[in-house]
Amino acid sequence: MSNTDQTPSKTRPLLAPLLLLLAACGVWTSACAPAERSRPDEPIEPPPKAVPVVPPAQRFLDVSAEVGLDFVHDNGMSGERYFVEPVGSGGAMVDLDDDGDLDLVLIQGRPLSPSSEAGSESEEVVRGSRIYRNDLEPDGHGRLRPKLIDITEQSGFRADGYGMGIATGDFDNDGRIDLYVTNFGPNQLWRNVSGDGRIALENVTADAGNGVDDARWSTSAAFTDFDGDGFLDLVVINYVDFRLETHRPCRSAGGRPDYCGPQSYDGEPDRLLWNRGDGTFVDITGIAGLLDEPSSGLGVTAADFDDDGRMDLYVANDLRRNFLWQNLGPGADGPPRFENVALERGAAVSMLGRAQASMGVVAGDLDSDGDEDLFMTHLSADTNTLYANDGRGFFIDRSTGSGLGPASLEATGFGVALVDIELDGRLDVVVANGAVKVIESLAKAGDPYPLKQPNQLFHNRGQGNFVELGAAAGEAFGRLEVSRGIAVGDVDNDGRLDLLLTNNHGPARLLLAAPFDNDGAWIGLRLLTAERGRDALGARVDIVLRNGTVLRRRVATDGGYLSAGDPRLAVGLGHDPEIAEVRVRWPGGGEEIFTNLAPGSYHNLVAGQGRSAASAPYDSTAEPTAGSTRSPE
């Protein structure tokens, strides 16, 4: 998050009528978008204007008000231009009471004054982070609709620091998903002790080991099992060494007082906490190799980029080179070792060799070639970046020509999430935008908070080729706001991924994915460990269709910006949805096959209950070893 962006605001053309017309005429299909238009022997002429291929409708509906989401973020603006103000906060979609639907957690800022940084009491209003329980209820049309109730006070959850981000994962293997809240100030670990239908949390930070309460300015965090020992480890991303008392005045190019950028302060190393398995963590940052690289991290995602069975780590740094921490496996004493290979693997800097102002990051198979690609968001006047994985953990910057790059130039991206809007098996991209530097036209128009920009939805046309849908994607994509985090999950259990959008110094929004007649089929999968049924974060899942298509997904709650999502997989299957089998590679090793999984519902796949993949080559006639089917409640 640097303040060096330059954002000429433009009026977004109203694309919807044009798009409707084009779609109706069938002028374009997703298969007819050539990567290279002109031929070498053609004269140089301006290319035709790109015509997007889009599903013609409002894909997401803002239901915040009607379902009871009344959260408004407070960034504590005091007029001092503290560096923390424009960074925003995140949110989570997480089933805290294990009732089969996703509850919401919204992270809150607080008034910024030197006396408030550490969470001490002050006379100013401190709203604190909030938990909304989701009581799904029938909507009268045969579907379920979220009903949100703020149960923060009853839950015992008291997170009153200046909140930044959230990570979710069952660190104590008791089958309940716990919360880790990052702050501008000491972080907190909240153990989920819910029971009897009541959401309850207890703050176990003090007893969870040194470093869990990291008091630096932490941003994103992620739970994953780095050493395959069956316990979730925790990585905490830190930004820069800014404190209110080290606040310094910064200025624009012309000399006007402005927010500082990350290079005005020293970077901080991230922290890696190794789960001992007894409910506590040990700080292995130094041993693991992460200590010597202070930077300015904002986003993080854990995935097996080189397909060696070990979870690697990618960190998006703001105006400093990004990290790709390759997991080298355990040292002789147990904890894993990491090496930063981002530069030589092509994932540290842009094609021009410059560190970009990376904010949010996601990993996923964006080009449907069976490996983990990376996509991250940046400042306006710089493209968001798609790093395509070659399958061995080496990356090529494919922003150019992908459709993801140029369309991002006009906005400053923060949150990012992967969804499948048509359930066609291809991952689409949602980006939350909002500037960090004054937009001239908004300021001239008297906007008191002139940083607003529209969010973006990029439709995947196949083979890593995207087109931005503009306001046709829904009201939330035409609205001007200062958006930051996106948590993604199926909040109404209809197989479509919904969005929890956080806005800096503004209202959070719940955006429901709308169903359409021409959508594909879907299947929902929840991958659980054998003991106590913890979500198997990091599990690799291949959904093999009868037509030979393989859809690769990863179980994760991390990625994006300051936010955490649904650990369940909701996978679009397209219009030829017959599933031959589902192959699962479990964290820590072992591959299993599950069959007889019907589309249109969620299934629990439990480690040890599938057929061993080693002894079972693909056989579409094999006897079923189905996962348990779980209907949406």
Q: Which of residues 59-98 bind another protein (CB under 8 A)?
A: 77-81, 85
Rounded CA separation 164/185 (Å): 9
Binding mask 106-135 for another protein (x = CB under 8 A): --------xx-xx-x---------------
Question: Strand, helix or coil at 403?
Answer: coil
DSSP one-letter code for 626: P
In 3D space, the residue among 334, 377, 388, 404 whose CA is nearest the CA of residue 486 turns out to be 377
For the CB of residue 442, give the shortest distance to another protein in the complex, in Å: 9
For the CB of residue 6, give the shortest distance to another protein in the complex, in Å: 5
From 152, 187, 322, 408, residue interacting with another protein (rule: CB under 8 A): 408
For the CB of residue 71, give the shortest distance to another protein in the complex, in Å: 17
For the CB of residue 456, give the shortest distance to another protein in the complex, in Å: 11
For the CB of residue 565, give the shortest distance to another protein in the complex, in Å: 28
From 215, 550, 613, 626, residue interacting with another protein (rule: CB under 8 A): 215
**Does position 141 bind another protein by CB under 8 A?**
no
CA angle centred on 418, ends 168 and 604, rounded to 5°: 55
396's tokens: 């090529």
From 139, 153, 440, 619, residue interacting with another protein (rule: CB under 8 A): 440
From 346, 360, 470, 610, residue interacting with another protein (rule: CB under 8 A): 346
Rounded CA separation 269/512 (Å): 37
Pair 415, 432: CB distance under 8 Å: yes
Binding mask 47-66 for another protein (x = CB under 8 A): x-xx----------------
Give the range of 58-66, 165-173, 284-292, 302-310 binding another protein by CB under 8 A: 284-292
From 156, 279, 329, 335, residue interacting with another protein (rule: CB under 8 A): 335
For the CB of residue 536, give the shortest distance to another protein in the complex, in Å: 24
Pair 176, 200: CB distance under 8 Å: no
From 198, 444, 546, 575, residue interacting with another protein (rule: CB under 8 A): 444
* Closer residue to another protein in complex, CB, 219/465: 465
Q: Which of residues 521-540 bind another protein (CB under 8 A)?
A: none
**Does position 321 bind another protein by CB under 8 A?**
yes
- Residue bearing tokens 């054998």: 530
Across 331-445, where does the E strand assignment appear?
Answer: 336-340, 361-364, 373-376, 385-389, 395-397, 413-419, 428-433
Residue 118's CB: how many other CB atoms inside 10 A? 15
From 64, 402, 483, 502, residue interacting with another protein (rule: CB under 8 A): 402
Pair 276, 283: CB distance under 8 Å: no
**Does position 391 bind another protein by CB under 8 A?**
no
Helix (H) or strand (E) holding 287: helix 285-288
For the CB of residue 582, give the shortest distance to another protein in the complex, in Å: 33
Q: Which of residues 352-371 bind another protein (CB under 8 A)?
A: 352-355
**Does position 11 bind another protein by CB under 8 A?**
no
Residue 343 half-sphere exposure, CB side, CA atoms within 13 Å? 7
- From the CA atom positions of the chain, what is the Rg in Å? 23
* Closer residue to another protein in complex, CB, 285/483: 285
In 3D space, the residue among 76, 87, 174, 84 whose CA is nearest the CA of residue 124 turns out to be 76
**Does position 6 bind another protein by CB under 8 A?**
yes
**Binding residues with another protein: total (CB under 8 A):** 94
Rounded CA separation 181/559 (Å): 15
